[in-house]
Structure 1
Amino acid sequence: MDLSSEIYHALLPAFITVTLGLPAVALGAIDGVAEATASFAKLASGRLSDRSRKRKPWVLLGYGLAALSKPLFPIAQGALELMGARFADRVGKGIRGAPRDAIIADETPPEIRGRAFGLRQALDTVGALIAPLAAIGLMYLFLENIRAVFWIAAIPAALSFLLALAAVKEPSVHLPDGKQQPLFSGFRDLDKPMRRLLAVAFLFSLARFSESFLILRALDIGVSATLSPLALVAFNLGFLALAYPAGALSDRLSPRHILIAGMSVLVVANLLLGQDIGVVGLVVGILLWGAHMALTQGIFARMIADAAPDHLRATSFGAYYFVSGIGTLVASLAAGFIWDRDGGSMTFLAGAGAAAVALAMLSLLGESRRDPAR
């Protein structure tokens, strides 16, 4: 599914700004609204998964909806149709996200959870790494006809649903008393440490807008629409290189220290991308962006798994993805407005400032509390 989805993701900035002729703020709105939608879906599916004591049906529903959404992209003629396609795709992602991560937490001993989520993050990134290369190859093959490439990219999405149907097993996890909980009680039952962790996740997401702006930055400095997906190749290389090592390291060190390192890397990456430094600087900045993701995303997932009780595990993951998605929506919309008004350099410099604020607040929390990120 990542192979399919990331082909669309790699070509959407060019499709939106070149094929459809829309402004950068449209890219920020479409990406931000789509990701926020996925977050609402994760909030609901996580709670429903815990309430029904089932994981696999929600995973299958998510993969199936995402596969069905893919043919909507090549027939889109404007922003509304494209947002509808992206909306359906991200709802599918949202539905499967929390139950999928809950399966991993259900089946993994606590002492190796960091490695488990690091491995999941790394395998996600393999598909995301191959996808931009496939997008470039297909763009050459189909003479830069983005719509034709979108039709081909629907095939691996359908295959992913069939694989999930055949291979995913329902874990033997039940609520302690075997009774079904009221729908909304689970959110109220989240304890103070979990709520604190969710607050930190929200703060981090405000400092990070959609990686589509990395592609837009590549277009901004003169990279062609056909080669612009290489920005995601560099991003995913940085991500893949550190995803598993960071997860494994969190099994031995304080996850908060790894998060601080990740946010520090994001500050440096944004400062670099905010300068007029050519293709070499662009590649280095994007690699660092990917490295920051490796040092934060899997770490947060592992910490949620550690902090959540068994009967609220998917609910906790849903809440985490919800607050992160809302933060990403705000950040992406702000990035789009800044880009249209002041250009790409100012967008990334503003991102560096937001990341620095998040880093400072996390550091202050660390001084006032024993382990605020747990």
Structure 2
Amino acid sequence: NSSDAFLLYRVNEAIRKSGAVVEFVREHIILENMVSIFGNTEKQAELINILFLPIVWGFFHIIKAFFSTPLSALSDKIGRKVTIIFGWTIYTSVYVSFALIVFLPSHIQIPVTFVLFTIYALFYAFTEGTEKALVADMVPEEKRGTAFGMYNLATGVSTLPASIIFGFLYTYFEQQFPGYGGTFAFGFGGSIALLSMILFSFLVKAKNR
């Protein structure tokens, strides 16, 4: 999967296009007064949009931390493969949703953003610990150090080309079809995730639990 920074970039693109967050702040006197000291209206809008991103990102990590242990532990009961497949189903759904987020009405973009990041946090909660547990299940105990090293190498190395390809698609299709670059890129990411999940379900043999 590509860098999660693209999710924040997509949110930033959506809220700037719709003005959803700026509109929300303007409708609440306390928030309006807090930003009123920061220059003119244009600078205030820029600040509002920038500050929204770390709020969303912090919220995402809170949800992820809260659910990681219980959802990873679920794999001990229902099996590693089932848990991972469920997690990657979430990933696919979230990427398809981010492909379409810029087309939503402005008044629902903020709640939808938090809902999507909540669901995306569950993807990590379902898969991060479970994937490592699956690696441990699949190799002899004396080979686990090597197996974890190879696993981390593979995931680390693949993130760079995945991000480059994603960024290229985003930029290329934005140039060819203005306003739709992110839609193509996130749609492609969701499709690849779906294909990977299908291949995983058929090709990876996990121990029954």
Identity rate, percent: 25
Query: What one-letter code is carried by the residue in structure 1 that aligns with 2:78?
Result: L
Match in the other structure for 2:202: 364
Distance in 1 of aligned mates of 2:56 and 2:207: 34
Residue 11 (structure 2) aligned to one of 182, 207, 218: 218
Query: How far off is 1:248 after superposition?
Result: 1.5
Task: Say yes or no: does 1:260 pair with 2:85.
Answer: yes
Distance in 1 of aligned mates of 2:208 and 2:182: 32
Query: How far off is 1:311 after superposition?
Result: 3.6
Query: How far off is 1:364 after superposition?
Result: 2.7
Match in the other structure for 1:285: 116
Residue 269 (structure 1) aligned to one of 94, 98, 119: 94
Q: How does 1:114-153 map to 2 (within 5 A)?
A: none
Distance in 2 of aligned mates of 1:348 and 1:326: 21
1:311-363, Cα deviation, whole Å (9 max, x unpaired): 43322211000111222222111111112122222221111111111122123
Give the secondary structure class of the aligned counterpart of 1:209. Answer: coil
Cα pair 1:308 1:316 within 8 Å, conserved: yes
Query: How far off is 1:273 after superposition?
Result: 0.9
Distance in 1 of aligned mates of 2:51 and 2:84: 35
Distance in 2 of aligned mates of 1:248 and 1:281: 28
Query: What one-letter code is carried by the residue in structure 1 that aligns with 2:152?
Result: Y
Cα distance change of structure 1 residues 333 and 245 upon mapping to structure 2, 3 Å threshold: same
Match in the other structure for 1:32: none
Task: Say yes or no: does 1:249 pair with 2:80.
Answer: no
Distance in 2 of aligned mates of 1:256 and 1:333: 29
Normalised to the residue count of structure 1, the TM-score between the two structures is: 0.41
Cα pair 2:170 2:182 within 8 Å, conserved: yes
Residue 138 (structure 2) aligned to one of 307, 318, 321: 307
Normalised to the residue count of structure 2, the TM-score between the two structures is: 0.70
Query: How far off is 1:283 after superposition?
Result: 2.1
Distance in 2 of aligned mates of 1:327 and 1:373: 29
Cα distance change of structure 1 residues 250 and 328 upon mapping to structure 2, 3 Å threshold: same
Match in the other structure for 1:347: 185
Distance in 2 of aligned mates of 1:256 and 1:209: 22
Distance in 1 of aligned mates of 2:2 and 2:193: 11
Query: How far off is 1:229 after superposition?
Result: 1.4
Q: How does 1:33-52 map to 2 (within 5 A)?
A: none
Query: What one-letter code is carried by the residue in structure 1 that aligns with 2:6?
Result: F
Cα pair 1:272 1:281 within 8 Å, conserved: no
Q: How does 1:1-374 map to 2 (within 5 A)?
A: 208-221=1-14, 222=16, 224-275=49-100, 276-277=103-104, 278-342=109-173, 343-365=181-203, 371=206
Query: How far off is 1:281 after superposition?
Result: 2.1
Cα distance change of structure 1 residues 332 and 305 upon mapping to structure 2, 3 Å threshold: same
1:206-263, Cα deviation, whole Å (9 max, x unpaired): xx21111121112212262232112312322342232111222122221100011001
Query: What one-letter code is carried by the residue in structure 1 that aligns with 2:133?
Result: R
Distance in 1 of aligned mates of 2:157 and 2:8: 22
Structure 1 unaligned blocks of 5 or more: 1-207
Cα pair 2:92 2:190 within 8 Å, conserved: yes
| CA RMSD in angstroms, aligned pairs only | 2.3
Distance in 1 of aligned mates of 2:64 and 2:154: 22
